[in-house]
Structure formats: C-alpha cells, structure tokens
Amino acid sequence: MRRSHYRRRASTKSGWFSGRRRIIAVAGTLAVFGGILTVTQVSNASTDRTQKKALSACNNVSAPAASKLSTKTRKGSWTEENGAVTQHADDGAGDVVTTAELRARCRRWVMNNVGNNNGNGGAATSAPAATVTATATATATNDTNAGNGQNGNGNNGGNNGGNNGGNNGGNNGGGQATTAPPAETTTAAPPADNGNNNGGNNGNNGGGQATTPPPGAGLGVLTNSCDTSNLLAHDGFQKGDRCVSTEFGEVSSAANNSSLLITQAPNVVKVNTPFTLKVSTRNLIRDRFLAAGAGGYYVESSVLQDGIVRGHFHTACRMLASTREAPDPAPVPAFFVATEDKKGGKAPDEVTISVPGLPTQGTAQCASWAGDGSHRIPMMERANETPAFDAVKLRVVN
C-alpha cells in the first residue's frame, strides 16, 4: 500500500534530531552533566577543606590546669548505701580530662557535624572550642557572631530580631553553624541540630524588623547575651572572667520548684572526727551530673521531667575566720561533695551525708544546695521564693 504524501512529509521533517543536530544535542547534554559533576566536585572539595580546617582546629584544644580541691574530702567518686548513692568529690572537679581526650572528642564532633553529615543545617565550619588559646578563642567568637547574623539573617533586624535571627539562626543550624557546644559528655549527647527548621525560621523572624519586644524591654537591661561581652567565651571548665552563653533552660511552676533543708546536724564536733548531716530535698530528681573537671560546668540548660528539675545536690563545709562578716569566697572548702543517687522526685526524702572531719578548731559552716545538670541552683517561677539552699553552723573543738 502506498504511503500518503502527509506521512512522507512528516517522516522527512522528523529528521531534526539526526545527523549534526543529534551530535550538538548530545554534546550539550554532556556539557550540562559535566557542569553538574564539576559543581559537585567543587562542592565536595570545599566540604573536604572545611572539614580539614575544623580538624586542624582541634589541635589547638588543650586541657586546663587542675583546680584546687577541698582538703578533707575523699578524692574521686564513690558509692554509699550499698551502691545506691554516688558521691562526687568537689563536684567532679578532680575528674580532669586530658588534652588527648579533649582533642579526640573534638575530632569526633567534627566528623559527625562538619560536612555532609550535618542533617538539615548545612555544614558546620569550625570545631568545638574546649580550651584554646586566647587568640583562637577570640577568633572563634568573632566568627560565631558574624556567622550567626549572616546565616540567621538577623543582623539587619532590631535588637530582638538581631538576637533571635543571628543567635538562633546560627546556633540551631540555619545555614552554617560555626561552633560546637563547649563540651560533650558520655551521659547525654547534645541535642541534634534542628537545621533549617529552627535556624531558618528564627533567622527569618529576626531578619528585617523585630516583631516582638525582647524580654525586659524598657527596664534598661544591660545585656541578654554574650554578643556584647568583651570576655572570652566560657568553655565548660571552671574559669572566671568568661561569658556563659548557655541558655537558662526550663523553669518549673512554683509548686514544683526545688526545695532543700538540712534536717539534722551536730552542734559540736571534734577536730578530724567524722560526723553526718541529713539533707532532705523536694522536687528534685537526683540523676543528672556533668563533671566539672571534664568540661561539664555551666554547659547544659536546665531540663524538667514531669515538671520538676533533673540534677543533684551539693554539700560543703568550710571554716569561718569570723562570724561577723561575709567570708572570703576564694579558698576551697574543707569538704565538698555532689550527690547523685538516681532517687528523688516530687515527694520529700532524706539523704545522709558523711563528713570525714574538719581540720581545725573554730566555727564551721556546712551548707547544702540543689543543682541542675550543670551545677546551678534550679530556677524558680517567682522572685520571692527561697532557693533550694540551707546552711548550719557548728563548733569544732579539740
């Protein structure tokens, strides 16, 4: 059967993708694919350089000098009451981490967070600052400020917009996070970055004009972040003249605020003679402790469980030079323990603290106070509440 003229014409016109044109199309496709491959390779190379730079920064991390410890306390950590109570001498300040451990921790963080493994928040661009030189810390601080504002789109906002956009955008992972948390522990991993969900949203809220006034607006607040501080960033170790950027965290309702009372203490003890104190806590889950010597000081926000704070409590005894004036705060006490026994809760209970003795005759002050995971007295809903703290005085005689 003879083909129609239309079919033949259609067939001849269909040759547009033949011969030279086919070669050109294929060449164009290869060029596009090559461009994509090149961009990918450049991106991967950039990621590799960023990761190597962050790993190199880990070499600047160094452990701090050991802090002074109380003189009469048994060293390290130990258990009492058949293992039910764990006592940490000097709040864990004696559990000093080594430089090698800090650098290994830093490198682990880099491998998990810098590059393509960082979830939704892009790539982090520097390793965590544990303890670094002053120059390195200052540089990291400046980089953080710049990165937070740019990636969170918050620098152009008002005071609240800038803070929310810059800090939350950078810290929560919007765009590129520039620093890691000051320290990581084996007891709890730091919360995963929320990536662009929080970073982007908070950054966008901060960009442009602030939509809500900051807390304390009109009260003449001096500052509400370390962005305005000239001090070095606090790094999780026991150092003064630093600025702590850790957020306060969760605060319970008044009915669930922590309280504490020393329920039993001797009036008189002999020098270097053991004695006991009894301490009762309420609304405190005693299961959270980050050792100060390992970089866990002031690095974790307060966390509630069933409406009450998770933490531990401290007990210390010091000799007083005078009972008519506030004592010098600098000397270490004769005795100091942090009690973490996996107990506590909303109902009040009682813990026995064994003090091995006090060194000299005179007047001693023994105090107990609650702490959250990072050793701060738990926050309270109202300003006119008594914190979870108590103290007694006793005479030490020969």
Residue 248 included in any domain: no
Contact 123, 116 (CB under 8 A): yes
Query: Do residues 36 and 182 both lie within one domain?
Result: yes
Query: Do residues 172 and 39 both lie within one domain?
Result: yes
Q: Give the tokens for residue 50.
A: 């960023």
Tell me the one-letter amino acid at 364.
A
Q: Give the tokens for residue 315.
A: 């007990």
Query: Do residues 345 and 380 both lie within one domain?
Result: yes
Query: Do residues 124 and 258 both lie within one domain?
Result: no
Residue 43's domain comprises 24-60+99-210+228-237
In this structure, of 150-164, 249-263, 306-320, 362-376, the range with the lowest mean pLDDT score is 150-164
Q: Give the tokens for residue 228.
A: 């305005």
How many domains are there within the chain? 2
Residue 81 included in any domain: no
Residue 75 included in any domain: no
Measured CA to CA, the distance from residue 132 to residue 135 in angstroms comes to 8
Query: Do residues 34 and 158 both lie within one domain?
Result: yes
Query: Do residues 232 and 260 both lie within one domain?
Result: no
Query: Do residues 127 and 273 both lie within one domain?
Result: no
Query: Do residues 45 and 164 both lie within one domain?
Result: yes
Mean pLDDT of 319-332: 97
Residue 223 included in any domain: no
Q: Give the tokens for residue 348.
A: 């009040």
Tell me the pLDDT band of 6, cut-offs 50, 70 and 90: very low
DSSP, residue by residue, 77-107 = EEEETTTTEEEEEGGGTTSPPPHHHHHHHHH
Query: Do residues 269 and 190 both lie within one domain?
Result: no
Choice between 11 and 397, residue whose per-residue pLDDT is larger: 397
Query: Do residues 203 and 301 both lie within one domain?
Result: no
Site of tokens 């070095």: 232
335: β partners: 317
Q: Give the tokens for residue 141.
A: 């601080």
Measured CA to CA, the distance from residue 318 to residue 310 in angstroms comes to 27
Burial label for 304, CB within 10 Å (0-12, 13-18, 19+), is middle
Residue 74 included in any domain: no
Tell me the pLDDT band of 233, cut-offs 50, 70 and 90: very high
pLDDT, tens only, 293-309: 999 999 999 999 999 99
What's the CATH number where 346 sits?
2.60.40.2550
Please work out, in degrees rounded to the nearest 5, the angle formed at the alpha carbon of residue 79 by the alpha carbons of 74 and 83: 165
Residue 201 included in any domain: yes
